[in-house]
């Protein structure tokens, strides 16, 4: 990873040991910086640097006065990178939508081919949550969750990671004034996608997803894609 020196630095070594500790830990709470420093026989600054690295990688959440929590958010670094890369929210939304139009029909196709029974159940539950939601925040969450579950059901972990990051970024944009207008259209579109997946019709699932994303794009007023680049 960083600092391609010949021998691993102490921070490299301690990062790896913290990951191992996290994987074998029964609680979702890690020992304190001071404890780990004593345990690993290094200074607190090394532990601190290693922990901060893991935080940035989406594996830990660190709070002053509270300690370190083990999490699984490997998509966070990508979300940060995209934010840095395209700071303008409108441009970012345009480009995110375009990437989604490439990725998500294939996610739906693969989900139709590969989803497990458990995954199908989760998809149905997520669809119900969208149908039943009353406020905008919950609508956005349920909508994005449906998409992330499809990515997971595709069986491609990398695709699922990308989708989680896209979802995070979209949620940020949507909470900043970009509004989904028509929940009814989304519910109808999702139902079509879900039916195609349940019936294992891969092509139909891909087409239904593309149609849905085009609707969503239109709803967000993003029809003119990248013409002013």
Partner DNA sequence: TAGTGGTAATTGGTCAGACCAATTGGAATG
Partner DNA sequence: CATTCCAATTGGTCTGACCAATTACCACTA
For position 197 contacting its own copies by CB under 8 A, the verdict is: no
45 phi, psi to nearest 5 deg:
-65, -35
**From the CB of 109, what's the least distance to its own copies, in Å?**
9
**Residues ≥6 apart with Cβ < 8 Å to 207:** 105, 196
**Residues ≥6 apart with Cβ < 8 Å to 140:** 170, 171, 174, 175, 180
For position 114 contacting its own copies by CB under 8 A, the verdict is: yes
* Angle, CA of 80, 146 and 28, to the nearest 5°: 60
Residue pair 82/72 in contact (Cβ under 8 Å)? The answer is: no
Question: Which of 18, 22, 33, 75 is the binder for its own copies (CB under 8 A)?
Answer: 75
CA–CA dist 98, 209 (Å, integer) = 13
**From the CB of 57, what's the least distance to DNA, in Å?**
15
Q: For its own copies, how many residues bind (rule: CB under 8 A)?
A: 50
For position 117 contacting its own copies by CB under 8 A, the verdict is: no
3-state SS, residue 4? coil
Dihedral, 99, 101, 106, 112 alpha carbons, nearest 10: 130
Q: Smaller CB distance to its own copies: residue 130 or 162?
A: 162
For position 155 contacting its own copies by CB under 8 A, the verdict is: yes
Residue 155 partner contact from DNA, its own copies, none using kind-dependent CB cut-offs of 5 to 8 Å: its own copies
Residue pair 82/169 in contact (Cβ under 8 Å)? The answer is: yes
Residue 66 partner contact from DNA, its own copies, none using kind-dependent CB cut-offs of 5 to 8 Å: DNA
For position 10 contacting its own copies by CB under 8 A, the verdict is: no
Contact residues toward DNA (CB under 7 A) are 3, 5, 7, 9-11, 30, 32-34, 41-46, 48-49, 52, 62-68
Q: Smaller CB distance to DNA: residue 62 or 180?
A: 62
**From the CB of 46, what's the least distance to DNA, in Å?**
4
| Listed residue (44, 42, 34, 36) closest to 9, CA to CA | 42
Residue pair 70/22 in contact (Cβ under 8 Å)? The answer is: yes
Question: Under the rule (CB under 8 A), what is the footprint of its own copies?
Answer: 1-3, 5, 45, 48-49, 52-53, 55-59, 62-64, 74-75, 77-78, 80-86, 92, 95-96, 98-99, 101-103, 105-107, 110, 114, 155-159, 161-162, 226, 229
């Amino acid at each position: 990873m960083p600092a391609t020196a010949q021998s691993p630095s102490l921070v490299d070594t301690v990062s790896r040991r913290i990951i191992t500790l996290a994987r074998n830990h029964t609680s979702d709470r890690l020992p304190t910086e001071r404890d780990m420093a004593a345990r690993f026989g290094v200074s607190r600054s090394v532990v601190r640097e290693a922990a901060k690295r893991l935080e940035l990688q989406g594996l830990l959440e660190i709070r002053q006065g509270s300690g370190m929590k083990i999490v699984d958010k490997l998509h966070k670094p990508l979300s940060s990178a995209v934010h840095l890369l395209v700071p303008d929210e409108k441009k970012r939304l345009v480009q995110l939508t375009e990437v989604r139009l490439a990725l998500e029909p294939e996610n739906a196709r693969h989900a139709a081919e590969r989803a497990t029974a458990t995954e199908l159940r989760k998809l149905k539950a997520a669809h119900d949550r969208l149908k039943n939601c009353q406020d905008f925040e919950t609508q956005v969450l349920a909508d994005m969750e449906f998409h992330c579950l499809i990515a997971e059901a595709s069986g491609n972990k990398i695709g699922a990671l990308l989708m989680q990051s896209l979802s995070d970024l979209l949620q940020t944009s949507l909470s900043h004034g970009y509004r989904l207008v028509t929940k009814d259209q989304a519910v109808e579109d999702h139902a079509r996608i879900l039916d195609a997946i349940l019936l294992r019709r891969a092509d139909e699932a891909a087409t239904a997803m593309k149609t849905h994303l085009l609707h969503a794009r239109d709803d967000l007023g993003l029809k003119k894609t990248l013409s002013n680049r």
